[in-house]
Amino acid sequence: MQKIQFIIAILMVVVLTGCGTSINLTKYSPSTLDKTKYMPSKKQIMSDSLPKVIVMNLDNNDMKTATQANLGGSMATKINSLLTKGKSVRILKRIQKVSYDKMISREIKAAQLSKELGTDVGGADYIITGQIGNSTYDHSFREGYYYYVKTKKGKVKRYASPTMSYTACATGNIKIFTLPTLLEADSFEFDECVKKSTVVRSSRDIVRRNDGLIRRAGDEGADTISYALKNFFSKKGYIYEMKKESSNRIVKVTLGLNHGAKEGEEVNFYKIEDSFNVLTEQSKQEEIIIGTGTISDQITETSSWVIVDELNLGKTIQAGDFIKINYEEGFFSKTGKYFK
């Protein structure tokens, strides 16, 4: 059964990442692109910088199981690893020999100085932290029992040994704060449990503490919100070229391997438009999703060709519009077999 599930998982990965993404550029003809109303600056287009992020330990809230397992620190390490693999942020390391308050104060001052001077002074743009809402570790015992199985020789009596099952759960939230304002930019909640069973001789064979299982629950929690974190920090790829082949369209964007572009990744197309609030009688610029696409197999370190899958009614793609990768939780993320 496990072998069949593994084969199905592999087939789904192939289908999801490799179907219809291969293109032959020689079959496509250049197509004129008008400029969008709100063109990005040359600095925005050419910038190779990534948002600088500090991941701080989550607050264990003085809960015994969380504190014993260092759950807050373990989850921070996991989030750090997940964001590093995504190539959409630059993780800054800070030696936590000072209090959180002093560390945050230093980062605020650095961010303010960077803004005043218009240059990078090494400070962070964002701080990621959060709180453990609850952390539990429970067990249950199942007595051994006899059962029968059908064989060619008839029914055969078998014995199932006693087992002890353990369940570890972790709930809480992850928050992103901008610097230097320390305003909450976004927050995500997690609520995950993991289980483990072992064969025992009697109900007395209990493992009353398992920090590793607690940390695994925290890792599952980090996994479930990682796609939301990656979406928040997803780098923009600006559109600057279009080609057509019959009714099929592809666009070239300033997003390549260096910043996480991969064949088969789904993207959203964005345009900056004016939004008028009739209540305040004020207008502001907003990023509007105008369609969806898929990154093709034509990728370099700094650019990629994107297949235009669908555009919203009445919307057109123009030079200066942009894409962002749309990260989603994979079908098998709970088991770790597949995660986009």
- Residue type at 109? K
**Residues, the chain, total?**
340
3-state secondary structure of 253: strand
Tens of pLDDT along the chain (340 residues) come to 445 554 555 455 444 444 589 999 999 999 999 999 999 998 888 877 788 899 999 999 999 999 999 999 999 999 999 998 877 888 887 655 556 667 677 777 776 766 655 655 567 889 999 999 999 999 999 999 999 999 988 899 999 999 999 999 999 999 999 988 888 999 999 999 999 999 999 999 999 999 999 999 999 999 999 989 989 999 999 999 999 999 999 999 999 998 889 999 999 999 999 988 888 888 889 999 999 999 999 999 999 999 999 999 999 999 999 999 988 765 444 444 334 4
Residue 278 CB contacts under 8 Å (≥ 6 apart), including other chains: none
Residue 86 is encoded by which pair of tokens? 């995504």
In a 10 Å sphere around its CB, with 0-12 CB exposed, 13-18 middle and 19+ buried, how is residue 238 labelled?
A: buried
Residue 254 is encoded by which pair of tokens? 């300033």
Q: Tell me, what DSSP letter sits at residue 115? A: H
Tell me what pLDDT residue 208 has. 93
Alpha helices in the chain (DSSP H): 2-18, 42-46, 64-69, 71-86, 100-117, 211-232
Here the contacts of 104-113 (C-beta below 8 Å, separation 24 or greater) are 104/182, 107/54, 107/179, 107/180, 108/179, 108/180, 108/182, 109/180, 110/179, 111/179, 111/180, 112/180
**Distance of alpha carbon 192 from the chain centroid:** 16
Tell me what pLDDT residue 2 has. 45
For every residue of 159-179, DSSP letters joined together read EEPPEEEEEEEEEEEEEEEET
First-to-last alpha carbon distance for the chain, in angstroms, is 24
Domains of the chain as residue ranges with CATH: 19-48+235-325 (2.40.10.410), 52-232 (3.40.50)
Instruction: Please give the Cα distance from 314 to 271 (Å, whole number).
Output: 13
